[in-house]
């Protein structure tokens, strides 16, 4: 067999925040790729505004670097389980992975998830222990943890013999020794190991073409762009080819442009061959997993498997009294078009119509996955309402099942009791407890996903912000009876329209936590705070103080109210109950009851009971 010795295709995988994107930056800087005058921004690969703000990778990206006589194609993948659909597709495009692990945190839930996907594809692993410069680094123990994880996930002997490199991506240093003093200001150990250990792609360019699409992009000039790998044969600009669709049909098209990746740019090329990662335009209608072949030799590659969604929400047209004030796109036609266009690039999302023409069921991989979509729509000028997230139940072998998540919590020991108690009430089962010796403890649970909805805020206040929680989908198990978790406190609901006044906020404060500031516009049925008890309470927050012409010397001097608690989009979604909506516009996030009128709401709740 012939191989293309000058190319290596590798993906970088890791738990969120372990330094994948920073490592790619350094590899770009230290290879022979960028001109000396190109000034790289920090985390250059995270190009989207939300990725920059939150410091996380949401979309997988690819780049290529030159090192000595080799071209190394690098895929940067997200770490969050909610974007696992991005990781799964990339495993098909590469021949090996760089598994990045934090020298202090060690293996985490996502490390497990991404490694499992890589081992299933029989990819060659290289382990990079990053952040070796941390004072609390414990590289030897971390390598042992990684080895245990490999064994647990059923790695074969060849995979178990993985090379380890120690690095500090932020300082641009690496070495093969686990002593931080031996770090050198170079990424050469990583590049050399990639060239030596990752297999070169097979060169079967003389056989008929097979190109499979793994990622999609869209561009106003050339339309849809399919990004993927040429598994066999050659592709030239101007070729007439066939797309083998997922539903079994076949469409023909002409290749109008082919782009190769180089550094942070896409450069047009005339021809690509087996082993190349490229972007192709000219196909109006192409989806992830479809195969491009010659017209006279149609042979499809196996379809990519993507994990199913586990969480769903209802998206509705905004029908609150303030509808249409702040958004640019408010009609059902516009919202539906936007949701359908999201399906072009996000394969783990599902959008289904409901009985109402103004509502859609949107399913995704987690709260973060769906809240990023809502945040993007909001920034683009859309106005909509969403319901509380719900888990997707399935019937497996005649038994009703629900998704369970593997939860890993790192917290100071003093908060351990209350965390175990809170998760116990949410029907989580503790599987492991590890004391790390410096007052920290790591707890591992298997918990129903239903019980984790809305738990983050409670968890952070319970551990005073010192706790770290990570969870990832584990499996479907038989459904647990009864209600789980959810909000314990009722809501403070406005009974009036108008503007909130300082005077009335002061009188409402003793009933609970207020979410609105003075002069905020309020409508009847809007949620203005959280009750300190478990029932909903109607409040008048728009009442003004009656003015008399009698003045007292010391009366009106000090009116002080607490700062209102302004909820972010994620906190608002966590706060929701079944009979509430979150109204999202480009300028505001409001919580409201589904039925705005108080007496109608009471009638409806009596009927339900």
303-338 pLDDT, tens per residue?
A: 776 667 888 999 999 999 999 898 898 999 999 999
H and E: helices and strands count for the chain:
15, 35
| The CATH fold of domain 210-294 | Elongation Factor Tu (Ef-tu); domain 3 (2.40.30)
To the question of whether residue 18 is assigned a binding role by annotation, the answer is yes
**Residue with the larger pLDDT of the pair 49 and 349:** 349
pLDDT tens-digit map of 257-275: 888 887 767 788 888 888 8
Q: pLDDT band for position 562 (50/70/90)? A: confident
Tokens found for residue 71: 């071209």
Is 225 one of the annotated binding-site residues?
Answer: no
- Mean pLDDT for 77-86 is 58
Q: Is 130 annotated as a binding residue?
A: yes
Note the pLDDT tens digit of each residue in 489-515.
889 999 999 998 888 888 888 888 899
Q: Determine if residue 22 is labeled as part of a ligand binding site.
A: yes
Predicted local confidence at residue 82, as pLDDT:
52
DSSP-assigned letter for residue 487: -
Fold exhibited by the domain 7-197: Rossmann fold (3.40.50)
21 is in an annotated binding site: yes
Architecture of domain 394-478: 2-Layer Sandwich (3.30)
Q: Which residue has the higher pLDDT, 560 or 273?
A: 273
- Per-residue CA distances from 179 to 71, 101, 135, 467 (Å): 30, 16, 12, 29
Is 456 marked within a binding site? no
Q: Which residue in the block uniquely carries the two structure tokens 């590049």?
A: 191
> Model confidence over 571-602: pLDDT tens digits?
888 888 888 999 999 999 999 999 988 889 88
Q: Looking at the predicted structure, is the pLDDT value of residue 43 above 60?
A: no
What pLDDT was estimated at residue 527?
92
**Other beta carbons within 10 Å of 427:** 18
Residue 73 in marked binding region: no
Q: What are phi and psi of 513, to 5 degrees?
A: -100, 130
| Res. 105: pLDDT tops 50 | yes
State the pLDDT at residue 246: 77
pLDDT at position 84, please? 57
Euclidean distance between CA atoms 488 and 459, whole angstroms = 14
d(CA 314, CA 561): 36
pLDDT digits (tens, 9 = 90+) for 197-255: 888 888 888 888 888 888 777 766 777 778 888 888 888 888 888 888 877 788 888 88
Average of per-residue pLDDT across 343-351: 79
Residues belonging to the chain: 609
Run of H or E residues at 219: strand 210-219
H/E stretch holding 440: strand 440-448
Helix residue spans in 12-161 (DSSP H)? 20-30, 49-54, 84-90, 109-120, 139-152, 157-160
> Does residue 417 have a pLDDT over 80?
yes
Domain ranges of the chain: 7-197, 210-294, 394-478
**Integer Cα distance of 360 and 540 in angstroms:** 34
CA atoms within 13 A on the CB side of 47: 10
Note the pLDDT of residue 152: 86
Those residues with Cβ within 8 angstroms of residue 22's Cβ, 6 or more apart along the chain or in another chain: 42, 43, 169, 170
Cβ atoms of 609 and 537 closer than 8 Å: no
pLDDT at 39: 46
Rounded to an integer, what distance in angstroms lies between the CA atom of residue 433 and that of residue 3?
48
C-alpha span between 449 and 295 (Å, rounded)? 47
């Amino acid at each position: 067999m012939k191989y293309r010795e000058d190319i290596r295709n590798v993906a970088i995988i890791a738990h969120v925040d372990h330094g994948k994107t920073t490592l790619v930056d350094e590899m770009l800087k230290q290879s022979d790729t960028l001109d000396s005058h190109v000034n790289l921004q920090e985390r250059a690969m995270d190009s989207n505004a939300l990725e920059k703000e939150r410091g996380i990778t949401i979309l997988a990206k690819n780049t290529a670097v030159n090192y000595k006589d080799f071209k190394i194609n690098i895929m940067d993948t997200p770490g969050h389980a909610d974007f696992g659909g991005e990781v799964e597709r990339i495993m098909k495009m590469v021949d090996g992975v760089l598994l990045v692990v934090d020298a202090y945190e060690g293996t985490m839930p996502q490390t497990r998830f991404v490694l499992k996907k890589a081992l299933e594809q029989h990819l060659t692993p290289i382990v990079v222990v990053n952040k070796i410069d941390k004072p609390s680094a414990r590289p030897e123990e971390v390598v042992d943890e990684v080895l245990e994880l490999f064994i647990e996930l059923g790695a074969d002997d060849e995979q178990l013999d993985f090379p380890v490199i120690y690095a500090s991506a932020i300082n641009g240093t690496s070495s093969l020794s686990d002593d931080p003093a031996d770090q050198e200001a170079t990424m050469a150990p990583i590049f050399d190991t990639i060239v030596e250990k990752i297999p070169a792609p097979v060169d079967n360019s003389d056989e008929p073409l097979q190109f499979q699409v793994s990622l999609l992009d869209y561009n106003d000039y050339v339309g849809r762009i399919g990004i993927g790998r040429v598994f066999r044969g050659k592709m030239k600009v101007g070729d007439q080819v066939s797309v083998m669709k997922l539903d079994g049909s076949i469409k023909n098209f002409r290749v109008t442009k082919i782009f190769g990746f180089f550094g942070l740019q896409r450069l047009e090329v005339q021809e690509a061959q087996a082993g190349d990662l490229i972007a192709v335009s000219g196909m109006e209608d192409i989806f992830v997993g479809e195969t491009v072949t010659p017209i006279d030799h149609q042979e499809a590659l196996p379809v990519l498997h993507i994990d199913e969604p586990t969480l769903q929400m209802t998206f509705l047209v905004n029908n609150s009294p303030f509808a249409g004030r702040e958004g640019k796109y408010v009609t059902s036609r516009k919202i539906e078009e936007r949701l359908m266009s999201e399906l072009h690039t996000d394969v783990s999302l599902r959008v289904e119509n409901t009985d109402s023409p103004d509502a859609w069921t949107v399913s995704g991989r987690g709260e973060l996955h769906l809240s990023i979509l809502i945040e993007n729509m909001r920034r683009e000028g859309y106005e909509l309402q969403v319901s509380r997230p719900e888990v997707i139940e399935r019937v497996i072998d005649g038994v009703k099942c629900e998704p369970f998540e593997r939860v890993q919590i790192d917290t100071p020991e003093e908060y351990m009791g209350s965390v175990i108690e809170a998760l116990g009430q949410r029907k989580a089962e503790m599987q492991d407890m590890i004391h790390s010796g410096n007052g920290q403890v790591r707890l591992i649970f298997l918990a129903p996903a239903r019980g984790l909805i809305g738990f983050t805020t409670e968890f952070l206040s319970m551990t005073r912000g010192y706790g770290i929680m990570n969870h990832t989908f584990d499996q479907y198990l038989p459904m647990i009876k009864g209600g789980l978790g959810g909000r314990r406190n009722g809501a403070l609901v406005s009974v009036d329209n108008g503007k909130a006044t300082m005077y009335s906020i002061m009188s409402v404060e003793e009933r609970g936590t207020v979410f609105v500031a003075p002069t905020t516009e309020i409508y009847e049925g809007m949620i203005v705070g959280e009750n300190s008890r478990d029932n909903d309470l109607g409040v008048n927050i728009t009442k003004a103080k009656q003015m008399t012409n009698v003045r007292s010397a010391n009366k009106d001097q000090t009116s002080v109210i607490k700062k209102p608690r302004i909820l972010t989009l994620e906190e608002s979604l966590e706060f929701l109950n079944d009979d509430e909506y979150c109204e999202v516009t480009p300028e505001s996030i409001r919580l409201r009851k589904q039925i705005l009128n108080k007496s109608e709401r009471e009638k409806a709740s009596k009927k339900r009971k």
